[in-house]
């Protein structure tokens, strides 16, 4: 029928009482469904990776102790850190300004409890530049177990500047 099939085969000789080969025996196992599932998983993973890397917002994935597991390109552009500089480090030590460290801890605690967070605040880049951001933090769960946390940071500096100008000119 032209259908591609993935099999594994074990082949063994059949011997007579004197040890002479009188035939062979083969056992084949069809792995087509597994191979199809593996290919579908590869495609899904590629889509998710492209979505993560190509997102217009800075994204960080954290473990349950707030250590950085992964960042995307936009995180590097916004905050100036490369993956090598941040992987394994505490996110609050990297980008939370001293004046709002309590807020950083509150956000960490809230998400650790399995709650989502959506706030507007300020964070700093590697060079110390302050950035007005909107943060969405969500737990990543499998069944009832929290595996990790993802944070999405959107730079809202232009909007905040426009609001200040509008306020002062009114």
Q: How far is CA 145 from the centre of its chain?
A: 16
Instruction: Single out the residue of 136, 118, 138, 129 nearest to residue 95, CA to CA.
Output: 129
Task: Answer whether residue 44 shows pLDDT above 90.
Answer: no
Concatenate the DSSP letters of all residues of 10-31 into one string.
Answer: EEEEEE-TTS-EEEEEEEEEE-
Cα separations in angstroms, 156 against 56, 112, 123: 13, 25, 11
Q: pLDDT tens digits, residue range 119-131? A: 999 999 999 999 9
Q: CA-CA distance, 110 to 108, in Å (whole number)?
A: 6
Q: What is the mean pLDDT of residues 76-98?
A: 96
Average pLDDT over residues 71-95: 96
Query: Side-chain half-sphere of 58: how many Cα atoms within 13 Å?
Result: 22
pLDDT surpassing 80 at residue 146? no
Q: For the chain, give the mean pLDDT.
A: 88
Predicted local distance difference test score (pLDDT) of residue 35: 83
The count of residues in the chain is 170
The answer to whether the predicted template modeling score (pTM) of the entire model surpasses 0.85 is no
Is the pLDDT at 133 greater than 80, yes or no?
Answer: yes
pLDDT at site 78? 97
pLDDT at 170 over 60: no
Mean pLDDT over residues 115-144, rounded?
92
Provide the pLDDT confidence category of residue 112 given band limits of 50, 70 and 90: confident
């Amino acid at each position: 029928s032209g259908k591609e099939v993935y099999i594994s085969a074990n082949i063994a000789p059949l011997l007579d009482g004197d040890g002479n080969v009188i035939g062979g025996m083969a056992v084949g196992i069809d792995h087509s469904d597994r191979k199809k599932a593996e290919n579908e998983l590869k495609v899904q993973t590629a889509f998710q990776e492209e979505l993560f890397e190509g997102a217009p917002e800075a994204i960080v994935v954290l473990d349950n102790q707030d250590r950085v597991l992964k960042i995307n390109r936009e995180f590097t552009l916004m905050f100036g850190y490369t993956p090598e500089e941040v992987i394994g480090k505490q996110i609050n030590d990297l980008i939370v300004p001293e004046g709002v460290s309590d807020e950083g801890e509150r956000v960490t605690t809230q998400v650790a409890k399995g709650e989502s967070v959506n706030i507007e605040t300020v964070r700093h880049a590697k060079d110390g530049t302050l950035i007005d951001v909107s943060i969405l933090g969500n737990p990543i769960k499998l069944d009832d177990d929290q595996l990790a946390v993802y944070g999405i940071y959107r730079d809202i500096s232009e909007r905040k500047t426009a609001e200040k100008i509008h306020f002062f000119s009114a």
